[in-house]
Structure 1
Amino acid sequence: MTDEQKKLITATVPILKENGVLLTTHFYKRMFTHNPELKNIFNMGNQQSGKQQTALAMAVLAYAENIANPMVLLPVVDRIGHKHTSLDIRPEHYIIVGNHLIESIKEVLGDPATPAIIDAWGVAYQQLAELMSGHEAKLYEQQTSKTYGWTGWRPFILGKKEAESAEITSFYLYPGDGGKVTPHLPGQYLSIRTFLKSLNLKQARQYSISSAPNEDYYRISVKREKGVNLDTNGLISNYLHDAVNEGDVLDLTAPAGNFVLTENTTAPIVLISGGVGLTPLMSMLQSLIAKDHENPITWIHGCRNKSVHAFKDHLDYITTTKSNVKQHTFYNVITPEDKENGILEGYLDINTIPELPKDPDTNYFICGPSAFITRQYQDLQAKGIDKKLIFFEEFGPQVLQMN
């Protein structure tokens, strides 16, 4: 890519800031019109909510702003690469996307989209596609090089279905071929694909693995969604609750995601979760216990009330049998019994917890709704916690920017 082309890309940054979502909305509409088969790959729920359009607009803008040195975006490339491999995205998909993106730039920008700018964006997209597909090729290779690893969609059998609360149910998934599974990294997720009759489409959804790493099965713990007009994500979650029974087959891709415990960490750990956001942190906690983690582990969780508090009995058992594990639980509304048992009232507020670890190397992991993550992240930074020690997982397309 020439210096002149980089300057042309940089010159489009103000336009992308003002019209980025307009561009990406047009792009998706155009692509699905010409290539409707891709609706089986893209999450139609995120399309309906607008989160995917916003996330793509932010990604395109970030790429344009860093066109002189796109390697600074490697952490983002890695996160997106994990998501793409979990959906079995391949290099040929980049060709289709690139064609529609360039045509959308022409159609949305109009006269400002000069031939020189279009040529520059063509080269820029090719550079990005090579960066992304190259990184994803390495991720695919890593998957197949693992013991019992695989790529693509693999059939799994639901071996057990177990209620964890009034809303959350766990699903134990075993390989349909009777084989083994590659142990996941604590914090990773699976993609599950199913056919939705209401859309006449196959749709995939990511669910965090809530079990400790093992070679026999994966466990996901799914919240039932309520409401009249559920998007695709809610439809799939409720489909698992209502229509999938023990013995049924589901297609899965291998574990993915980079929201994971630092390998061989010995630092104190604080796990902060809101609602169903506790699922990846359960895997982390169980893994730490299995490895006899000696430093303090602090579990902080918030939910509406006891009836929706998943894994409560198991967490109570852990904290009573492991002297280095402490838990602090917040319910929006508490009963006298809750208060006697040490439950705190209101929304989770780390400022009310005096027993947080004092070690400056403590690692903090946050998972929950976007607003929840934002508040916890900001409160931790206000306490002087280095942002490099704060990790978070936002379900769905990442739109939070906390740099």
Structure 2
Amino acid sequence: MLTNEQMTVITSTVPVLEEHGVKVTTRFYRQLFNDHPELLNLFNHVNQETGDQPKALAYSLYQAASNIENLESILPVVKQIAHKHRSIGVKEEHYPIVGEYLLQAMQDELGLNSDDPVIEAWGAAYGIIADVFIQVEKEMYEQAGWDGFREMKVSSKVRESDEIYSFYFSPADGGPLPLFQPGQYISIEASIPGEKYRHIRQYSLSDAPGKNHYRISVKRENNPEGIVSNYLHDQVNAEDSIYISAPAGDFTVKEAHSPLILISGGVGVTPLLSMYKRVRESQPERPVTFVQAVRNENVHGLAEEIHVLKEDSHIRHIVCYEEPENIDAGDFKGRLTPEALASFLPQEQAEYYLCGPELFMQSVYDMLKDLGISSNQISYEFFGPTMTLVENK
């Protein structure tokens, strides 16, 4: 337990972390990887280069400091991060190493000595937070379908659009596949020719659970260059082997009788399609509105698959093309607007699920809040380091 004095000291660092947090975490990662390059096998190198990972860690530190007197309030964020840790193989023995380098980065960046009350208080706090992560992740490892990365065979590779391929995976050992929750993801472990370290990426499962395969639908990323997505598109084919971790993630659809609203931007359709299929199977009478915002028809992945599912009168599928090739394509032209969004929404209370690029989700989130939708009705998933949409309203 932290003493009252330690909690007061940590609370006093909130404005310091707000100003210098990213500098601290950037220094932390730089020194950690310099001394322990083997950890580069676990981390997304692109997120390091763009600064997204240091920003995400700085945000987590800020949240911990702001809620130090009630750490239970950040448990949902802890669980979200813990899912990713379990998915990529973070283990208990990694936490002391991280703690040592994080405290050293604080000392160096803030000009403090090792016996400064701030460093001592944060050392105590880190120990408590690390123990929470270790316990949560231990339970997740025990509940996972398997440990580590399991060999799969690519049973099929299907072109979905100019930018998206679907990959179907079946166990190389012929064993069964555990069920997953619609909305969850798997991690791909890629040993790419010419690359010194392994690359691990998370991809949402895009098909319904209960089949003899897992499916992911991958967009080729070019800005920044998607090392793993390009590898999958260009070098992985049917009958090749690929290694994946057991399904993880807490962005899952809730069983409810209220209408379900799914809003995707681009390839953000993938976890929502899995949710859509499950609801169609388990709650066939539940009203569903599926809104897809896509650049144009050429990059509209999985479109026909969703279209076929909307045969019932209580299912609505709405497509917004920002720059359509054909003037008659889609239901709306241009970017999604508050007026267009309002026309899709039901009068009664509903559950909303968002997935897509961060700017898209922030825009839709703001529009929903402006339309009177409560934040506890809105769930969303980031394709990248865990962060939270800004409460602008």
Q: What range is the shorter-chain TM-score in?
A: over 0.9
Contact 1:300 1:328 in 2 (8 A): yes
The structural deviation recorded for 1:265 is 2.2
Match of 1:286 in 2: 277
How far apart, CA to CA, are the structure 1 residues paired with 2:18 and 2:340?
39
Alignment of 1:19-58 (within 5 A): 19-58=20-59
Contact 2:292 2:318 in 1 (8 A): yes
Distance 1:274 1:187, change over 3 A: same
Q: Name which of 242, 247, 250 aligns with 1:250.
A: 242
Alignment of 1:226-305 (within 5 A): 226=222, 230=225, 234-262=226-254, 264-305=255-296
Which AA in structure 2 matches 1:133?
Answer: I
Contact 1:195 1:201 in 2 (8 A): yes
Which AA in structure 2 matches 1:51?
Answer: D
How far apart, CA to CA, are the structure 1 residues paired with 2:163 and 2:152?
23
The structural deviation recorded for 1:215 is 4.5
Contact 2:80 2:386 in 1 (8 A): no
How far apart, CA to CA, are the structure 2 residues paired with 1:379 and 1:13?
30
Matched, 1:324 2:325: no
Match of 2:367 in 1: 379
SS in 1 for 2:187: strand
The structural deviation recorded for 1:292 is 3.7
Distance 1:153 1:335, change over 3 A: closer
Question: 1:261-284 CA distances to partner (integer Å, 9 max, x unpaired)?
Answer: 01x322210100010010001101
How far apart, CA to CA, are the structure 2 residues paired with 1:113 and 1:19?
18
Distance 1:226 1:338, change over 3 A: farther
How far apart, CA to CA, are the structure 2 residues paired with 1:381 and 1:14?
28
RMSD: 1.5
Which structure 2 residue ranges, 5 or more long, are not aligned?
none
Q: Name which of 150, 154, 157 aligns with 1:154.
A: 150
Question: 1:138-189 CA distances to partner (integer Å, 9 max, x unpaired)?
Answer: 112222xxxxx21211111110000111111100011111011111101011
Distance 1:158 1:135, change over 3 A: same
Match of 1:165 in 2: 161
SS in 2 for 1:54: helix
SS in 1 for 2:11: helix
SS in 2 for 1:150: coil
Matched, 1:366 2:354: yes
Matched, 1:6 2:2: no
Identity among equivalent pairs (%): 40
* TM-score, length-scaled by structure 2: 0.95
Once superposed, which parts of structure 1, at least 4 consecutive aligned residues long, lie more than 4 Å away?
A: none
Contact 1:351 1:379 in 2 (8 A): no
Q: Which piece of structure 1 moves more, 181-190 or 5-14?
A: 5-14
* TM-score, length-scaled by structure 1: 0.93
Matched, 1:356 2:345: yes
Contact 2:184 2:204 in 1 (8 A): yes
SS in 1 for 2:175: coil
The structural deviation recorded for 1:358 is 1.4
How far apart, CA to CA, are the structure 1 residues paired with 2:244 and 2:324?
39
Which structure 1 residue ranges, 5 or more long, are not aligned?
144-148
Contact 2:357 2:382 in 1 (8 A): yes
Contact 1:274 1:301 in 2 (8 A): yes
Matched, 1:311 2:302: yes
Q: Name which of 177, 186, 190 aligns with 1:190.
A: 186
